[in-house]
Chains A and B, each alone.
Chain A
Amino acid sequence: QSVLTQSPSVSGAPGQRVTISCTGSTSNIGAGYDVHWYQQIPGTAPKLLIYGNNNRPSGVPDRFSGSKSGTSASLAITGLQAEDEADYYCQSYDRSLSGSWVFGGGTKLTVL
């Protein structure tokens, strides 16, 4: 089991908006630690999508946005496109594990 919990799958039609959630606890997200998000297209390496809860690296479309509240974080994708079909992972830090970076279990996004 991953320290950060994500729904296994989510789907949406082209043009729609979807959100992917990442739920932690008081030893990680709830302790105030920021959340980062990665996109992984099957067969390729993960790619940084969002850092520091809601910051996009250069080259990432503004259709992707992040937020954090309490013990959870969310990734929103608007104007869904076929190329967005991928696995998405959240990442944070957990202070109860001798100082450890932790990932969510991943959410598979299917574009219908």
Chain B
Amino acid sequence: QVQLVQSGAEVKKPGASVKVSCKTSGYTFTNYALSWVRQAPGQGLEWMGWISPYNGNTNYAQKFQGRFTMITDTSTNTAYMELRSLRSDDTAVYYCARVLGGGTLTPNWFDPWGQGTRVTVSS
């Protein structure tokens, strides 16, 4: 079955960077884009961006442009995200999710999701 397994929790100081991995299995990695979504404590979901493992194309949410990078490694079927210049309000659970569907008026949807990686930013 399709699985996305993320790396473990991280604790970082303000100003530092964090890198989270998302190892996929059960499908052809290059056939589907992957997206990153975060959820601050007690808050809703926030889309951060997507990446195509096929050609490396990316689309970043405006809010994160400049300090957020997504890459993929097709040799290990793994996606990575890096968030730099961390602030306390970056404390959240970060999810990767496979991107499905899409069309002219049909936004892509996300299925399945990784288990999430908790990132805590604290001095």
Checking A2, A48, A93 against B44 with a beta-carbon cut-off of 8 angstroms, the contacting residue is A2
Cα A110 to Cα B17 with chains together (Å)? 38
Query: What residues of B have a CB within 8 angstroms of the CB of A38 in the complex?
Result: 45, 110
Q: Give chain A interface residues in 78-112, CB to chain B under 8 Å.
A: 89, 91-93, 97-106
Contact A34 to B61, CB < 8 A, known contacts A45-B116, A102-B47, A103-B45: no
Query: What residues of A have a CB within 8 angstroms of the CB of B115 in the complex?
Result: 44-45
Query: What residues of B have a CB within 8 angstroms of the CB of A57 in the complex?
Result: 111
Is B112 interfacial (CB-CB < 8 Å)?
A: yes
Query: What residues of B have a CB within 8 angstroms of the CB of A101 in the complex?
Result: 35, 47, 107-108
Contact B105 A32 (CB under 8 A): yes
Contact string against B for A residues 54-79, beta-carbon threshold 8 Å, 1 for contact and 0 otherwise: 00010000000000000000000000
Checking B35, B59, B101, B113 against A52 with a beta-carbon cut-off of 8 angstroms, the contacting residue is B101
Within the complex, what minimum Cβ distance (angstroms) separates B99 from chain A? Answer: 9
Closest to B99 in A: A101
How many B residues have CB within 8 A of the partner chain?
25
Contact A34 B44 (CB under 8 A): no
Checking B46, B61, B95, B107 against A92 with a beta-carbon cut-off of 8 angstroms, the contacting residue is B107
Within the complex, what minimum Cβ distance (angstroms) separates B65 from chain A? Answer: 9
Is B62 interfacial (CB-CB < 8 Å)?
A: yes
Query: What residues of B have a CB within 8 angstroms of the CB of A92 in the complex?
Result: 107
Cα A51 to Cα B44 with chains together (Å)? 19
Contact string against A for B residues 24-63, beta-carbon threshold 8 Å, 1 for contact and 0 otherwise: 0000000000010100000011110000000000010110
Binding site for B on A (CB under 8 A): 2, 31-34, 36, 38, 44-48, 51-52, 57, 89, 91-93, 97-106
Listed by A's residue number, 11 A-B pairs whose Cβ atoms lie within 8 Å are: A38-B45, A46-B37, A46-B110, A48-B109, A52-B101, A89-B45, A92-B107, A97-B61, A99-B59, A102-B47, A103-B44
Binding site for A on B (CB under 8 A): 35, 37, 44-47, 59, 61-62, 95, 97, 100-101, 105-116
In the complex, besides A31-B105, A51-B111, A101-B47, 8 extra interface pairs with C-beta distance below 8 angstroms are: A33-B106, A36-B107, A45-B112, A45-B115, A46-B97, A48-B110, A89-B45, A101-B107
